[in-house]
C-alpha cells in the first residue's frame, strides 16, 4: 500500500510538472532560465549563443603585464577560446588501480581512438608525463562530445560508474598539481583550507592511504569550506574513497580555529604537517570551461579578493608546523592574486618562510616562472606601478601588498621565479598558479613575548612551545576602511587583532603604535544545517559482545574508534574513524563545526538478531573492518563473483564446490565474500576483492551498490552496458534492454533486481559527475 501511494505521488508530480512546463516559454522549459543553463549548454547550446569569447580589457591587461612570452599572445587567446578537453585520474591508493589502468588502455582507449565524431577525429589518449605511474590521462574529447555522442556511450558510462564508485575522478589536469607538490606521507596531518568541491581532497586521501594494507594511517585530512552547502558536495566526493581518516568541517578559512589534541594527558596545539591553500579567486584561468567569465572579467575582481586571499594564506602558515609545507594555488593568472600574495606573505614572515623550487617534482610539465615586476590597474583602466602614487581616495581598493617590494635586494631574496604559472596554450590545459612554501621557523608574530617567558612555565617546569602564544582564534576578517600601514603586521592591516600583543587576562593599555589589547574571544557562529552529534562508544558498551562473537573480531579491534550519530534510541549505523581523528573530535567539540567524518562499517538489520547479531557489514567500510574479522568469510572464485553480481538470490548450489562447502557450514546472516588472486591465472584480476553478502536459508546474496557491481563485473571480464532511449522509424520511443557481454563475447541477460533496496539519492553530487549509468544490474545498496 505504501509503495502504491509513493508511485501515485510521483505520477501526480510528473503530471503537474508537465502541465507547468507546457505553458512556459521554450527557453524556460528545461527548468533553467536563459542565463542559467549548464556549463555544456554555456559552451555549445543555443542559450549561450550571445556570449562572445572576447574581452578587450582582459587582452589589454595581460598584454601589458607580459606574463605570456613574446610572440605567443595570439596563440594564448585562441587556446582560451577552445573548449577544455577531458582529463581523468585513476584512484591510486586502491589495490585494483592497475586493473582499471589495464582496462582503460587495452579496451576503452583502443575503442575510441581514430573515431570521428562531429567531424573531429578522436586522438589516442595520452598519459600526463608529470603525474606518477600513468594514473592521469588526457584526451582531446570535450565534455560535450563525451556526453552526447552515441559512439562514445560505452566509454562515457564506464567513466560515470567508475567515478561514482570512487575508482576514477574526472578532474582538470592543472587541478591535480597542488596535492602532488605537498609530498604527502601516511603519517602527515593535513589541512585543506578551501576544499570544496573536493577533487584535490580526494587526492590527499589517496596519498594518505598509499599502503592499502594499513586500514588506519597515522595521518588524517581535515577538509574545510566556508559554504555550508558546498560542504555536503565535499562529503559526497570524500565518501567515494571510504576513508576513516577524513573529517569535513565548515568554517571561514581566514579565521579557522586553532585545534587542540591530547598528547599523553597534556593538551597541545595541533600544527599541520601539510596545508593546501587553494584560495577563492577570480578564475580567469577557467575561461575554457566557465564561458561566462569572458563577459564578467574585470580587474576589480582581483582587487576585491586580494585581501581575503592574503588572510587565508596567513592563517594557513600560522597553523603549519615548523618544517611543514604549504601549497598556495589559484586558477587565476593575475599577479595581484598570485605573486603579490606570496610576496606579502614572505615579507611579513621575516625569513620564517621559504619559497621552494617545485620544478623537480613536475617532470615534463611546461610552465612559466613567477614574475618579479607587475603593475596594478583600476576598473577604469588607470595603471599604478607604486603604492605611493595611488590617490588617497583609492586606498580602500588598492593596498600596498598588491605591489612588488620596493627593496630590490629583498625582492631578489624572495625568489619569486620559483612560483609556477601554467598557460593554456602550452599543454592544452586550463590556466593555473601554484607556489610551495616551507616553514623554517615560527612566524614572527607568534613568537613568545619576552615578559611572559617566566610566567608561561608549566607546573613541571617546562616551557610551552613557542607558538602556543597564539593570535585570537576567531579574528575578524573585515578590513579597515582606510589603507593599512605598510609597516604593520598582516593581521593589523586586515583589521585583526595584532598578534604581537601577548594574551593576558589583564586589560592592556593602548601602546605607542596605536595597537589595542586583544578583544574578548567571540563565540563561534554556526550556520547551515544542524548536524547530529558524534558519539563515541565505550569499550564496555553492550553493543559490542554480540558483534565480536558473531564475526570473531580480533582482540586488537579498536572499539574506542567506533562512533554513532545519536545519543538516544537504537543505533542504526556504526562508523569508524582513526585514532588521531578521534583525538581531535573529543578535544575540539566546542570550537569547530564538523559536517561529517568516519566510514560506515556496520548497519542495523533487525532480522539478524535471531541469528545472533543485529548488525550486518556495510560495503563502504569492508576494507576498514575486514582486517579484524576472523569468521564468516567465504573464499570465492572469479566465476562465483560473476554469479553473485549478476543474479538476484542465487541458490548456494550455484557457487563453485569450494565456496558451496564453506557456505553450508555457516549459519544465516551477514558474511564476507572474498576473492584472492591466483598468481598463476594472469587472465583473472590480480588484486583481492571483498564483498559484503548475506547467507540465507538456501541462497546467498551480495550487498553491493549498483556502480560497484559494474566495477567488479568489469574486473572479472563482464561488460555491462545499456543503450540510451532511442526512436523507431515510426517515431515511437523504444527502450533498449540491458545486456551483459562475457569474456567470450556472448550476451547474458541480467536478472532484474525487483527486491533491491532503494538507493538513496545523494544531494551533494559533483556537477561533473551527476549522470548515473543506466543498467538493469541494480543490486542492493549497503
Cα distance between residue 217 and residue 210, in whole Å: 9
Q: What is the DSSP letter of 314?
A: H
261 three-state secondary structure: strand
CA distances from 422 to 131, 237, 280, 462 (A): 15, 26, 18, 48
CA dihedral 762, 765, 770, 775 (to 10 degrees): -40
| H/E segment holding residue 688 | none
For the chain, how are helix, strand and coil distributed in percent, rounded to 5? 35, 20, 45
709 three-state secondary structure: helix
- Residue 476, classified by CB atoms within 10 Å of its CB into exposed (0-12), middle (13-18) or buried (19+), is middle
Cα distance between residue 778 and residue 782, in whole Å: 12
DSSP string of 116-160, one letter each residue: EETTEEPPPPEE-TTSGGG-EEEEEEEHHHHHH-GGGHHHHHHHH
Cα distance between residue 427 and residue 172, in whole Å: 12
- Inter-residue contact 143 to 159 (CB < 8 Å): no
- 713-733 CB burial, b ≥16 within 10 A, e <16: bbbbbbbbbbbeeeeeeeeee
SS (H, E, C) 69-103: CCCCHHHHHHHHHCCCEEEEEECCCCCCHHHHHHH
Residues 6+ apart with CB under 8 A from 471: 318, 445, 446, 491, 496, 497, 499
Residues 6+ apart with CB under 8 A from 102: none
Cα distance between residue 612 and residue 618, in whole Å: 17
HSE-CB of 213 using CA atoms within 13 angstroms: 1
Is 687 among the catalytic positions?
no
Q: Which three cell numbers stand for residue 114?
A: 581514430
Q: Which three cell numbers stand for residue 143?
A: 565534455
Nearest partner of 424 among 299, 305, 310, 290, judged by Cα: 290
Cα distance between residue 677 and residue 688, in whole Å: 6
Taken in order 137, 140, 142, 146, the sign of the CA dihedral is negative
* Chain centroid, CA 98 distance in Å: 22
- Inter-residue contact 169 to 163 (CB < 8 Å): yes
- Inter-residue contact 619 to 691 (CB < 8 Å): yes
48 three-state secondary structure: helix
- Inter-residue contact 439 to 324 (CB < 8 Å): yes
- Inter-residue contact 574 to 564 (CB < 8 Å): yes
Cα distance between residue 222 and residue 583, in whole Å: 13
541 three-state secondary structure: coil
- Inter-residue contact 243 to 94 (CB < 8 Å): no
524 three-state secondary structure: coil
| Catalytic annotation, pick one of 231, 245, 277, 331 | 331
Residues labelled catalytic: 331
Amino acid at each position: 500500500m505504501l509503495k502504491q501511494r509513493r508511485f501515485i505521488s510521483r505520477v501526480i508530480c510528473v503530471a503537474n510538472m508537465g502541465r507547468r512546463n507546457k505553458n512556459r516559454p521554450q527557453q524556460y522549459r528545461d527548468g533553467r532560465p536563459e542565463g542559467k543553463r549548464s556549463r555544456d549548454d554555456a559552451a555549445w547550446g543555443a542559450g549561450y549563443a550571445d556570449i562572445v569569447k572576447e574581452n578587450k580589457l582582459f587582452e589589454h591587461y595581460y598584454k601589458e603585464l607580459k606574463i605570456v612570452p613574446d610572440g605567443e599572445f595570439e596563440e594564448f587567446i585562441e587556446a582560451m577560446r577552445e573548449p577544455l578537453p577531458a582529463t581523468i585520474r585513476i584512484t591510486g591508493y586502491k589495490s585494483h588501480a592497475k586493473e582499471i589502468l589495464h582496462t582503460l588502455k587495452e579496451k576503452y582507449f583502443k575503442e575510441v581512438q581514430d573515431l570521428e565524431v562531429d567531424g573531429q577525429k578522436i586522438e589516442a589518449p595520452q598519459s600526463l608525463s608529470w603525474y606518477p605511474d600513468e594514473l592521469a590521462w588526457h584526451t582531446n574529447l570535450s565534455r560535450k562530445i563525451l556526453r552526447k555522442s552515441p559512439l562514445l556511450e560505452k566509454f562515457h558510462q564506464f567513466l560515470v560508474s567508475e567515478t561514482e564508485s570512487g575508482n576514477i575522478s574526472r578532474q582538470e589536469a592543472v587541478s591535480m598539481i597542488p596535492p602532488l607538490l605537498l609530498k604527502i606521507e601516511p603519517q602527515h596531518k593535513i589541512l585543506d583550507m578551501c576544499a570544496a568541491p573536493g577533487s584535490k581532497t580526494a587526492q590527499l586521501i589517496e596519498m594518505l592511504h598509499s599502503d592499502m594494507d594499513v586500514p588506519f594511517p597515522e595521518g588524517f585530512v581535515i577538509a574545510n569550506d566556508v559554504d555550508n552547502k558546498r560542504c555536503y558536495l565535499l562529503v559526497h566526493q570524500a565518501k567515494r574513497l571510504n576513508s576513516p581518516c577524513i573529517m569535513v568541517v565548515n568554517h571561514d578559512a581566514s579565521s579557522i580555529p586553532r585545534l587542540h589534541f591530547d598528547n599523553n594527558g597534556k593538551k597541545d596545539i595541533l600544527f599541520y604537517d601539510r596545508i593546501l591553500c587553494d584560495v577563492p579567486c577570480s578564475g580567469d584561468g577557467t575561461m575554457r570551461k566557465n564561458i561566462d567569465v569572458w563577459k564578467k572579467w574585470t580587474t576589480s575582481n582581483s582587487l576585491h579578493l586580494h585581501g581575503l586571499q592574503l588572510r587565508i594564506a596567513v592563517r594557513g602558515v600560522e597553523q603549519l608546523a615548523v618544517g611543514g609545507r604549504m601549497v598556495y594555488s589559484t586558477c587565476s593568472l593575475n599577479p595581484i592574486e598570485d605573486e603579490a600574495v606570496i610576496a606579502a606573505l614572505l615579507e611579513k614572515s621575516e625569513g620564517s618562510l621559504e619559497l621552494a623550487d617545485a620544478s623537480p617534482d613536475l617532470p615534463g610539465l611546461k610552465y612559466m616562472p613567477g614574475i618579479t615586476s607587475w603593475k596594478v590597474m583600476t576598473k577604469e583602466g588607470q595603471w599604478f606601478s607604486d603604492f605611493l602614487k595611488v590617490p588617497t581616495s583609492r586606498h580602500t581598493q588598492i593596498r600596498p601588498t598588491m605591489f612588488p617590494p620596493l627593496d630590490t635586494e629583498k625582492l631578489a631574496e624572495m625568489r619569486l621565479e620559483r612560483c609556477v604559472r601554467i598557460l593554456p596554450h602550452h599543454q592544452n590545459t586550463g590556466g593555473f598558479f601554484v607556489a610551495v612554501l616551507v616553514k623554517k621557523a615560527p612566524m614572527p608574530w607568534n613568537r613568545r613575548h619576552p615578559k611572559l617567558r617566566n610566567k608561561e612555565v608549566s607546573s613541571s617546569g617546562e616551557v610551552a612551545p613557542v607558538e602556543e602564544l597564539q593570535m585570537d582564534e576567531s579574528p575578524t576578517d573585515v578590513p579597515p576602511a582606510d589603507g593599512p600601514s605598510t609597516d604593520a603586521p598582516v593581521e593589523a592591516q586586515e583589521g585583526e587583532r595584532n598578534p604581537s600583543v601577548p594574551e593576558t587576562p589583564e586589560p592592556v593599555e593602548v601602546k605607542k603604535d596605536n595597537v589595542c589589547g586583544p578583544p574578548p574571544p567571540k563565540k563561534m557562529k554556526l550556520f547551515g544545517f544542524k548536524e547530529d552529534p558524534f558519539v563515541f562508544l565505550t569499550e564496555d558498551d553492550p553493543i559490542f559482545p554480540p558483534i565480536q562473537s558473531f564475526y570473531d573480531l580480533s582482540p586488537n579491534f579498536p572499539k574506542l574508534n567506533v562512533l554513532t550519530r545519536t545519543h538516544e534510541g537504537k543505533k542504526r549505523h556504526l562508523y569508524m574513524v582513526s585514532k588521531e581523528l578521534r583525538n581531535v573530535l573529543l578535544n575540539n567539540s566546542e570550537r569547530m563545526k564538523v559536517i561529517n567524518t568516519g566510514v560506515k562499517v556496520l548497519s542495523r538489520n533487525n532480522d539478524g538478531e535471531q541469528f545472533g547479531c543485529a548488525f550486518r557489514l556495510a560495503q563502504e567500510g569492508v576494507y576498514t573492518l575486514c582486517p579484524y574479522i576472523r569468521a564468516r568469510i567465504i573464499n570465492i572464485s572469479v566465476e562465483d563473483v560473476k554469479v553473485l553480481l549478476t543474479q538476484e538470490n542465487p541458490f548456494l548450489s550455484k557457487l563453485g564446490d569450494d565456496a558451496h562447502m564453506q557456505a553450508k557450514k555457516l549459519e544465516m546472516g551477514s558474511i564476507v565474500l572474498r576473492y584472492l588472486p591466483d598468481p598463476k591465472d594472469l587472465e583473472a584480476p590480480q588484486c583481492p576483492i571483498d564483498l559484503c553478502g548475506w547467507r540465507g536459508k538456501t541462497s546467498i546474496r551480495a550487498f553491493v551498490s549498483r556502480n560497484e557491481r559494474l566495477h567488479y563485473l568489469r574486473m572479472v571480464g563482464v561488460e555491462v552496458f545499456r543503450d540510451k532511449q532511442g526512436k523507431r522509424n515510426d517515431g515511437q520511443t523504444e527502450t533498449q534492454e540491458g545486456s551483459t557481454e562475457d569474456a567470450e563475447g556472448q550476451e547474458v541477460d541480467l536478472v532484474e533486481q525487483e527486491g533491491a533496496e532503494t538507493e538513496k539519492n545523494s544531494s551533494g553530487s559533483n556537477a561533473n559527475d551527476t549522470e548515473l549509468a543506466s543498467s538493469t544490474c541494480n543490486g542492493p545498496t549497503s
